[in-house]
Amino acid sequence: MDLKQLNAFIAVADLRSFSAAATKTGLSQPSLSRLLKQLETDMGVVLIDRYHRPLHLTEAGSFFYDKISTILTEIDTVTSMTQRLSAPSSVLNIGFVPQCYTACCLKSLPRLNSSAPDIDVNLKDISSYQQIDALKSGEIDIGFGRFAHQDPWIQQILLRHERYVVALPKSHPLANVRKQRLIDLANNRLILYHQTHLPVSSTVTIETATQANDKLSTSRVNRAATHEAASSEPITEPLLHLFAQYGISPFMTTTVSDLQVALGLVAAGEGITLVPASLQTVRTEQISYQRLVHENVTSPIYLHTLEDFVHPKIPDLLTAIYHVYEQRGITYRQQNFVSQA
């Protein structure tokens, strides 16, 4: 059994076609068939049912596919990490979600460029969860995101918590109310813009949240049809999660693809949303941004990198971020990644 045989098997299993798998692997179809036949002979099992079209994996083949896919992914990750260890680069590839750019990169990168001019920075707009695969493949060296991750290949630090503000149309009756309560916003259409969900460990149920907030649980709360008061379904969308912490479910929600679309709808008077405070300079001619009275309604900012390899320029980036935060009086947690290299 060797990697060439395993990669051939994975290609056939993914594409369910010998001809397509041959094209993908760069092998001739007879060569691909010989590799798979030899793998089955060595293992003493039949992995592929060749009499179905498209091809099907046998029960043994399905089991083998599930296990070997994970192993091959880890081999690819280790290979990429080893290559980076042997050839450190002055290029720092940074992945970020748009909600983090203003809070982390806008002021920090000019500081980094002036303090460490030998660093070449590449920026990539990429979702929090896509960052994990990008770190493993070497596409990025560090990622800024809004979600915590549990992955043995990844280490993370919590940089800080950023307060949410409510974004309302300028014509909204509450547009000039300086401190908003979530309970007063519940009758509005809440526009949701997160494409990924919180990890299960961070979810909260309406039932649990109501018990934990007795004062608010006795208040008038409007509940959406999909979240009845008796429901114990986990609330995994970040903004719904925040409302649920206070025993509240918005009357109506609309989900869009990203934050810019959400703010466009707010500007058009189609609803309200919550955004990190660093974004309250967007479309101010059409949108009113107001603070919330709830101090713990915040959005975390996490930094992620590999567990076993920390790019040598990441400490310079952290120093630049901390310097900007200190200048602006922003509360943060000063931490550093642990390098195993």
Nearest to 266 by CA among 331, 340, 157, 192: 192
**CB 6 within 8 Å of CB 36:** no
| CA distance linking residue 18 with residue 324, whole number of Å | 56
Do both 122 and 241 map to the same domain?
A: no
Q: Indicate if 91 and 104 belong to the same structural domain.
A: yes
Q: Global pTM?
A: 0.67
For residues 114 and 43, state if they share a domain: no
Please check the confidence at residue 136 and state whether its pLDDT lies above 60.
Answer: yes
262 in the same domain as 182: yes
* In a domain? residue 341: no
Residue 339 maps to a domain: no
Q: What is the per-residue pLDDT for 224?
A: 34
Considering the domain boundaries, does residue 35 fall inside one? yes
130-133, long-range: CB within 8 Å, 24+ apart, which pairs?
Answer: 130/95, 131/95, 131/304, 132/304
Domain, as residue range, for 147: 87-160+300-328
> What's residue 87's pLDDT?
61
Are residues 33 and 121 both part of a single domain?
no
The predicted-structure confidence for 170-207, as pLDDT tens digits, reads as follows 999 999 999 999 999 999 999 998 754 444 333 333 33
- Does residue 74 sit in the same domain as residue 51? yes
Task: Name residue 3's amino acid.
Answer: L
> How many domains does the chain fold into?
3
Q: How far apart are CA 189 and CA 208, in angstroms?
A: 24
Q: Which residue has the tokens 């975390």?
A: 300
For the cut 50, the answer to whether the pLDDT of residue 314 exceeds it is yes
Comparing C-alpha atoms, which of 247, 164, 149 is closest to residue 198? 149
28 and 81: one domain? yes
State how far the Cα of 138 lies from the Cα of 77, in Å rounded to an integer.
8
Residue 245 belongs to domain with CATH number: 3.40.190.10
In a domain, 340, yes or no: no
Tell which of 37, 54, 85 closes a domain: 85
Judge contact between 237 and 264, C-beta under 8 A: no
Q: Cβ distance 156 to 302 under 8 Å?
A: yes
Amino acid identity, residue 300?
P
- Is residue 224 in a domain? yes
Residues 250 and 225 in one domain: yes
Q: How many residues does the chain have?
A: 341
Asked if residue 335 belongs to a domain, the reply is no
Q: Does residue 333 sit within a domain?
A: no
